[in-house]
């Protein structure tokens, strides 16, 4: 058993590149027993890459990692587990059909002779749950367990493996306030047992409430490592952001017209409550907030994919029927979803079929579809968006991520929408293509379309939007104009719910 | 109400058993012959082959796979054994019981290598082997049929053997197979791995479960059971041609699913699969006993399957709703 303060993990100058992209350019991290260590940084700063290296999913290209006084052996999740590292991913990976006891001990079930000793497994699991202060029933199925309780099971699993270092990737992202409270209690008990907890979080209020050390990362490198008393909210936010907004966001001044989309008191009690805002023609409104704050759910409800219980959606002053994407499309609303592979594209279908998918009216002959028109339509959008592909008939899955994203955009722009909703339009695409996508969205607004943009990337939100609506835990906590908005204000509202920073 | 709820079965198999008993009772009231020793024995005899196959298939479905080649394998094994016995009159039931599972395992190894090794979808792979194996039977058999006189008398005698007036030898073996696999699936790590793989294949990789080995062995086991089922087929019908057991693979899947083995993987037991097979057979037999036209057989089977899936979905929705309600409460 490690003593409090013993150095458990040390990373020095760790590097990692994926093809041409540098994910980590020299990261340092020291973790001691009995310490809660927060890892902060914007999206793409390299936090996840670092956790994945420790989890054994990726192998670092350079730098040294040591566990205690031994060098760290990378290579497989199994190897990391054996070195006492347990990872709790943002989405817990439990076996929902199995009992909690079984989830804790899967692959390591206690045996009695030739048979698994279920009584032992259950009492041991019950003991671990009690130790964590969450008395779950070990005989219960994991299905139907809240995300918070699933995390507790994952933590119990980590304890049962005798892990000394417990990594948590945004453990609080999907939790409600009371659940966060409970998770913090669990983290404190881990600390008391002289384990080291490393956690990634974007909720800075929590970070300051619980951690002993704060490491800030930016652009693949460690910016600072301080005990929690040696830094403050302002400083951390500055370190996270750290750079000037570049010319990435070619904001053009568009003529702003009448209200196109009016949302009033929209509520779906499981995800969001009393959301009201408007989007005008020619205006770009950003919906900002943390993952899990209910932004995408609002968009889905507007477009009619999900139902909402109360409230109303008005398009150009007319009520929009709820729960009907067909009605939404008839009112010329387009939704470019967050997950293009699962929801935005038919990956094995050709480029032209994907682009024309929602525009059959435009390519219809008298009776049959006119494929010549389909090819012409695709050609128009290839030029407008400079999509790169070898042939129109190639499957979309053969395109690069950026070109796939442009294809989804083309598909919806081809419907000539009045209202364009884009959910994380630049996730997972490179900087150059990002700028192009931003230009497209600006151009759409310039044509008088109303644009609602959901984004987790602050520079994007600040650079593109005329107005910013910030959500936190299903509530609208702030609405800032382009002039009022600063990175600090948006982060403060999204993480603590407070307006000033 | 309190009194009644004490008798409410806690497990799925309990409920199924209860449904089975009720079905048998209703049929028995309408047609008392159904409840006699003969009636019960007939039920067991006619269920043995499908029940054995359902036991072999259960672990595969639990792993989110499927094995459609089982009926063809039964045909292949049955014909092959009959052929060997015709050429080797000295063969007794012992050789049959050894050769059958071995032939079945060969098919299982092929399925297992393709599904687990190349990670091809089992639906397509076993659909392929379904046709290939059946085609092989057509070619090898060359339209030769075998009847009781070519088969070992000891094997046919065993097929006729009945214990306690109601329990045929074949179904006794089914019960053994059921109990052993049920124990294995519950009390051995390999068995639990099957549930884990079917429940969340991605997570199974992350926690270091040997996915290849488990999947491969499950198909080999299903093959072996199909081979044994081929022997049972001979014992029951005492004759075989190249179309033996043609098209019955889906009856096996249906029996397992009706018995609570979820087609989406992750849950179910071999006990359930066996009860499912019995339930299908009881309803068939019961309908015949009360004079329903045999033409309705397929339609009734289909209806039963849909009812089973519906029950499954209803249970799942119930827990989803409970989760949502909890979420709303926590967010309030």
Who's near B219: CB < 8 A, 6+ residues apart? B60, B65, B67, B108, B109, B111, B112, B115, B116, B122
For residues B161 and B246, the answer to whether their CB atoms sit within 8 Å is: no
**Shared-domain flag, residues A213 and A341:** no
Name the 3-class secondary structure at B76: helix
Binned at pLDDT 50, 70 and 90, residue A431 comes out as: low
**Tokens (6 digits) for A144:** 């139907």
Chain A residues close to B204, C-beta within 8 Å: 95
Q: Which of B200, B266, B331 sits opposite A93 (nearest CB)?
A: B200
Is A287 a member of any domain?
A: yes
Alpha-carbon gap, residue A444 to A422, rounded angstroms: 12
Q: Quick check: B208 and A116 CB within 8 A?
A: no
Chain A residues close to B319, C-beta within 8 Å: 143-144
Work out the minimum CA distance from B276 to partner chain A, whole angstroms. 20
Three state DSSP letters for A187-239: HHHHHHCCCEEEEECCCHHHHHHHCCEEEEEECCEEEEEEEHHHCCHHHHHHH
Q: Quick check: A109 and B324 CB within 8 A?
A: no
Q: Quick check: B320 and A144 CB within 8 A?
A: yes
Q: Quick check: A270 and B320 CB within 8 A?
A: no
Alpha-carbon gap, residue B241 to B14, rounded angstroms: 39
Binned at pLDDT 50, 70 and 90, residue A174 comes out as: low
pLDDT for the residue B323? 67
Q: Quick check: B195 and A97 CB within 8 A?
A: yes
**Segment of A28-42, B287-301, B311-325 carrying the highest mean pLDDT:** A28-42
Chain A residues close to B200, C-beta within 8 Å: 93-96
Q: Quick check: A178 and B266 CB within 8 A?
A: no
Mutate which: A144, A167, A181, vs B, most B CBs within 10 A? A144
pLDDT for the residue A126? 94
Overall average pLDDT of the A347-374 stretch? 84
Chain A residues close to B207, C-beta within 8 Å: 77, 93, 106-107
Q: Which of A118, A144, A146 sits opposite B319 (nearest CB)?
A: A144
Q: Which residue of B has its CA nearest to A475?
A: B331
DSSP B114: I
Overall average pLDDT of the A195-201 stretch? 90
Which tens digit of pLDDT belongs to each residue from A43-61? 667 888 888 899 888 888 8
pLDDT for the residue A244? 47
Is A442 a member of any domain?
A: yes
Work out the minimum CA distance from B51 to partner chain A, whole angstroms. 24
Q: Which of B267, B319, B331 sits opposite A176 (nearest CB)?
A: B331
Q: Which of B187, B266, B326 sits opposite A97 (nearest CB)?
A: B266
Measured CA to CA in angstroms, residue B47 lies from A11, B73, B96, B206 at distances of 64, 18, 20, 40
Q: Quick check: A98 and B189 CB within 8 A?
A: no
**Shared-domain flag, residues A26 and A158:** yes
Work out the minimum CA distance from A40 to partner chain B, whole angstroms. 25
Mutate which: B61, B209, B312, B331, vs A, most A CBs within 10 A? B331
Work out the minimum CA distance from B67 to partner chain A, whole angstroms. 22
Is A111 a member of any domain?
A: no
Which tens digit of pLDDT belongs to each residue from A303-342? 998 889 999 999 998 999 988 999 999 999 999 988 777 7
By CB neighbour count within 10 A (0-12 exposed, 13-18 middle, 19+ buried), where does A7 fall? middle
- Has residue B1 got a pLDDT over 80? no
Mutate which: B203, B211, B260, vs A, most A CBs within 10 A? B203
Is A113 a member of any domain?
A: no
**Shared-domain flag, residues A209 and A340:** no
Q: Quick check: A98 and B206 CB within 8 A?
A: no
Q: Which residue of A has its CA nearest to B328?
A: A270
Chain B residues close to A294, C-beta within 8 Å: none
Binned at pLDDT 50, 70 and 90, residue B14 comes out as: confident
- Has residue B4 got a pLDDT over 80? no
Q: Which of B189, B195, B327 sits opposite A98 (nearest CB)?
A: B195
Name the 3-class secondary structure at A21: strand
Interface of B with A (CB under 8 A): 183, 186-189, 192-193, 195-196, 198-200, 202-204, 206-209, 262, 265-267, 319-320, 322-324, 326-328, 330-332
**Tokens (6 digits) for A29:** 């991290």
Angle between helix B211-237 and helix B169-187 axes, rounded to 10 deg: 170
Domain boundary at A209, A241, A273, which? A241
**Tokens (6 digits) for A13:** 């100058």
Work out the minimum CA distance from B104 to partner chain A, whole angstroms. 28
**Shared-domain flag, residues A413 and A279:** yes
Is A248 a member of any domain?
A: no
Top pLDDT among A325 and A364 is at A325
Alpha-carbon gap, residue B253 to B61, rounded angstroms: 9
pLDDT for the residue B194? 96
Binned at pLDDT 50, 70 and 90, residue A381 comes out as: confident
Mutate which: A92, A107, A473, vs B, most B CBs within 10 A? A107
Domain boundary at A241, A269, A298, which? A241
Buried b (16+ CB within 10 A) or exposed e, A250-289: eeeebeeeeebbbbeebbbbbbbbebebbbbbbbbbbbbb
Alpha-carbon gap, residue A147 to A151, rounded angstroms: 6
For residues A312 and A264, the answer to whether their CB atoms sit within 8 Å is: yes
Overall average pLDDT of the B216-237 stretch? 96
For residues A207 and A187, the answer to whether their CB atoms sit within 8 Å is: no
pLDDT for the residue A341? 73
Q: Which of B188, B319, B330 sits opposite A143 (nearest CB)?
A: B319
Domain boundary at A241, A276, A300, which? A241
Q: Quick check: B202 and A94 CB within 8 A?
A: no
Residue A9 has phi, psi (to 5 degrees) of -145, 130
Which tens digit of pLDDT belongs to each residue from B149-190? 999 999 999 999 999 888 999 999 999 999 999 999 999 999
Binned at pLDDT 50, 70 and 90, residue A278 comes out as: very high
Q: Which of B186, B203, B322 sits opposite A93 (nearest CB)?
A: B203
Q: Closest Cα partner for A395 from A345, A456, A443, A440?
A: A345
Q: Quick check: B266 and A98 CB within 8 A?
A: yes
pLDDT for the residue B9? 52
Binned at pLDDT 50, 70 and 90, residue A428 comes out as: low
Q: Which of A93, A116, A273 sits opposite B206 (nearest CB)?
A: A93
**Tokens (6 digits) for B250:** 């889906």
Top pLDDT among B51 and A228 is at B51
Top pLDDT among A156 and B220 is at B220
**Tokens (6 digits) for A362:** 């435009």
Is A285 a member of any domain?
A: yes
**Shared-domain flag, residues A205 and A336:** no
pLDDT for the residue A1? 56
Q: Which of B187, B196, B320 sits opposite A116 (nearest CB)?
A: B187
Binned at pLDDT 50, 70 and 90, residue A501 comes out as: very low
Who's near B213: CB < 8 A, 6+ residues apart? B116
pLDDT for the residue A212? 93
| Pairing assessment for the beta strands A165-169 and A85-88 based on DSSP bridges | parallel
**Shared-domain flag, residues A273 and A160:** no
Chain A residues close to B64, C-beta within 8 Å: none
Who's near A4: CB < 8 A, 6+ residues apart? A32, A33, A34, A194
**Shared-domain flag, residues A273 and A364:** yes
Buried b (16+ CB within 10 A) or exposed e, B224-240: bbbbbbbbbbbbbebbb
Residue A488 has phi, psi (to 5 degrees) of -60, -45
Alpha-carbon gap, residue A327 to A340, rounded angstroms: 22
Tell me the DSSP string of A405-463.
HHHHHHHHHTT--SEEEEESTTTT--HHHHHHHHHHHHHHHHTT-EEEEE-S-HHHHHH
pLDDT for the residue B287? 81
pLDDT for the residue A499? 55
pLDDT for the residue A20? 62
Overall average pLDDT of the A185-195 stretch? 89
A2-6, A80-84, A176-180, A337-341: which has the minimum mean pLDDT?
A: A176-180
pLDDT for the residue A347? 83
pLDDT for the residue B49? 96
**Shared-domain flag, residues A33 and A151:** yes
Alpha-carbon gap, residue A444 to B144, rounded angstroms: 74
Who's near B49: CB < 8 A, 6+ residues apart? B74, B170, B229, B232, B233, B236, B245
Q: Quick check: A270 and B322 CB within 8 A?
A: no
Chain A residues close to B199, C-beta within 8 Å: 95-98
**Segment of B82-91, B201-210, B278-287, B318-327 carrying the highest mean pLDDT:** B82-91
Compute the CA torsion angle B177, B178, B183, B186 (nearest 10 deg).
130
Our count of domains for chain A comes to: 2
Q: Quick check: A106 and B206 CB within 8 A?
A: no
Overall average pLDDT of the B15-44 stretch? 85
Overall average pLDDT of the A70-99 stretch? 84
Overall average pLDDT of the B282-311 stretch? 82
Instruction: List A471's β-bridge partners, or say none.
Output: A289, A476
**Shared-domain flag, residues A425 and A305:** yes
CATH number of the CATH domain containing A204 = 3.40.50.300
Binned at pLDDT 50, 70 and 90, residue B126 comes out as: very high
- Has residue B56 got a pLDDT over 80? yes
Alpha-carbon gap, residue B307 to A14, rounded angstroms: 58
**All structural domains of chain B:** 2-297 (1.10.3470)
Work out the minimum CA distance from A403 to partner chain B, whole angstroms. 28
* A–B interface: beta-carbon pairs under 8 A: 84
Query: CA angle, corner A181, sides to A179 and A185, nearest 5?
Result: 115
pLDDT for the residue A245? 42
Alpha-carbon gap, residue B50 to B277, rounded angstroms: 6
Is A106 a member of any domain?
A: no
Average confidence score pLDDT of chain A? 85
Percent of chain A past pLDDT 70, that is, above it, reads: 93
Top pLDDT among B15 and B92 is at B92
**Segment of A97-111, A281-295, A407-421, B119-133 carrying the highest mean pLDDT:** B119-133
Is A105 a member of any domain?
A: no
A178-182, A341-345, B2-6, B250-254: which has the minimum mean pLDDT?
A: B2-6
pLDDT for the residue B332? 55
Chain B residues close to A97, C-beta within 8 Å: 195, 198-199, 262, 265-267
Q: Quick check: A270 and B327 CB within 8 A?
A: yes
Look-up: residue for tokens 């017209």? A257
A236-245, B96-105, B297-306: which has the minimum mean pLDDT?
A: A236-245
Residue A29: which domain range? 7-94+145-241
**Shared-domain flag, residues A80 and A205:** yes
Q: Quick check: B209 and A179 CB within 8 A?
A: no
Alpha-carbon gap, residue A439 to A370, rounded angstroms: 31
Which tens digit of pLDDT belongs to each residue from A213-257? 999 988 888 888 889 888 887 788 778 776 544 445 666 777 888
Q: Quick check: B193 and A107 CB within 8 A?
A: yes
**Shared-domain flag, residues A309 and A181:** no
**Shared-domain flag, residues A290 and A370:** yes
């Amino acid at each position: 058993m490690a003593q409090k303060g013993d150095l458990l993990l040390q990373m020095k100058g760790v590097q990692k590149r994926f093809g041409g992209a540098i994910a980590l350019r020299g990261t340092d991290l020291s973790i001691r027993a009995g310490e809660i260590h927060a890892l902060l940084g914007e999206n793409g700063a390299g936090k996840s890459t670092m956790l994945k290296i420790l989890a054994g999913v990726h192998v670092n290209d350079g730098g040294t990692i040591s566990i205690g006084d031994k060098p760290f052996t990378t290579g497989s999740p199994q190897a990391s587990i054996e070195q006492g590292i347990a990872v709790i991913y943002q989405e817990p990976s439990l076996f929902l059909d199995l009992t909690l006891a079984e989830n804790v001990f899967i692959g390591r079930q206690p045996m009695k002779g030739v048979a698994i000793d279920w009584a032992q497994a259950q009492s041991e699991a019950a003991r671990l749950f009690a130790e964590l202060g969450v008395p779950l029933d070990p005989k219960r199925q994991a299905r139907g367990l809240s995300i918070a309780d699933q995390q507790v099971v994952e933590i119990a699993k980590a304890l049962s493996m005798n892990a000394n270092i417990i990594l948590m990737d945004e453990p609080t992202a999907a939790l409600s306030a009371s659940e966060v409270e409970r998770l913090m209690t669990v983290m404190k008990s881990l600390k008391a047992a002289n384990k080291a907890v490393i956690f990634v979080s974007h909720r800075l209020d929590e970070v300051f409430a619980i951690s002993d050390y704060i490491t800030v990362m930016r652009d693949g490198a460690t910016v600072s490592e301080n005990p929690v008393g040696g830094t403050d909210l302002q400083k951390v936010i500055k370190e996270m952001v750290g750079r000037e907004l570049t010319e990435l966001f070619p904001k053009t001044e568009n003529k702003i017209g009448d209200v196109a989309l009016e949302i009033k008191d929209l509520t779906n009690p499981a995800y969001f409550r009393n959301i009201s805002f408007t989007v005008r023609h020619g205006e770009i409104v950003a919906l900002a907030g943390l993952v899990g704050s209910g932004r995408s759910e609002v968009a889905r409800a507007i477009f009619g994919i999900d139902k909402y219980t109360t409230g109303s959606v008005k398009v150009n002053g007319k009520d929009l029927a709820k729960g009907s994407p067909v009605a939404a499309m008839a009112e010329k609303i387009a939704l470019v979803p967050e997950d293009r592979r699962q929801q935005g594209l038919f990956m094995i279908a050709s480029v032209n079929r994907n682009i024309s998918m929602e525009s059959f009216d435009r390519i219809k002959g008298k009776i049959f579809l006119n494929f010549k028109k389909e090819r012409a339509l695709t050609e128009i959008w290839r030029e407008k968006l400079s999509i790169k592909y070898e042939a129109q008939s190639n499957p979309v899955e053969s395109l690069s991520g950026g070109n796939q994203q442009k294809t989804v955009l083309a598909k919806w722009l081809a419907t000539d929408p009045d209202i364009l909703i884009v959910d994380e339009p630049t996730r997972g695409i490179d900087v150059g293509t990002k700028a192009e996508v931003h230009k497209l969205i600006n151009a759409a607004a310039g044509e008088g379309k109303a644009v609602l943009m959901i984004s987790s990337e602050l520079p994007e939100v600040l650079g593109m939007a005329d107005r910013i609506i910030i959500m936190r835990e299903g509530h609208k906590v702030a609405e800032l104009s382009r002039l009022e908005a600063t990175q600090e204000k948006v982060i403060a509202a999204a993480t603590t719910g407070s307006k000033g920073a | 109400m309190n009194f009644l709820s004490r008798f409410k079965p806690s497990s799925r198999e309990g409920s199924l058993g209860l449904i089975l008993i009720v079905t048998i009772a209703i049929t028995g009231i309408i047609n008392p012959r159904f409840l006699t020793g003969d009636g019960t024995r007939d039920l067991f005899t006619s269920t043995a082959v499908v029940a054995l196959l359902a036991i072999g298939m259960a672990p595969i479905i639990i792993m989110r796979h499927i094995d459609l080649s089982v009926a063809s394998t039964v045909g292949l094994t049955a014909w092959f054994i009959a052929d060997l016995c015709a050429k080797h009159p000295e063969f007794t039931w012992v050789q049959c019981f050894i050769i059958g599972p071995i032939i079945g395992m060969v098919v299982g190894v092929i399925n297992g290598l393709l599904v687990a090794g190349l990670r091809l979808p089992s639906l397509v792979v076993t659909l392929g082997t379904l046709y290939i194996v059946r085609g092989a039977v057509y070619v090898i058999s060359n339209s030769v049929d075998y009847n009781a006189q070519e088969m070992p008398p000891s094997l046919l005698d065993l097929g006729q053997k009945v214990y306690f007036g109601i329990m045929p030898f074949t179904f006794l073996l089914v019960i053994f197979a059921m109990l052993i696999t049920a124990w294995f699936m519950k009390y051995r790590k390999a068995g639990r791995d099957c549930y884990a793989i079917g429940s969340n294949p991605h997570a199974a990789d992350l926690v270091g479960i040997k996915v290849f080995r488990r999947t491969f062995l499950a198909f080999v086991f299903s093959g072996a059971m199909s081979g044994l089922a081929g022997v049972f087929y001979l014992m029951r019908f005492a004759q075989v041609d190249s179309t033996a057991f043609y098209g019955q693979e889906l009856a096996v899947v249906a029996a397992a699913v009706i018995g609570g083995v979820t087609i989406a993987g992750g849950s179910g037991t071999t006990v359930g699969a066996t009860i499912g097979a019995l339930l299908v057979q009881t309803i068939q037999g019961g309908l015949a006993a009360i004079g329903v036209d045999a033409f309705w057989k397929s339609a009734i089977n289909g209806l039963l399957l849909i009812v089973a899936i519906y029950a499954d979905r209803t249970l799942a929705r119930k827990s989803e709703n409970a989760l949502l309600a909890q979420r709303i409460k926590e967010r309030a």
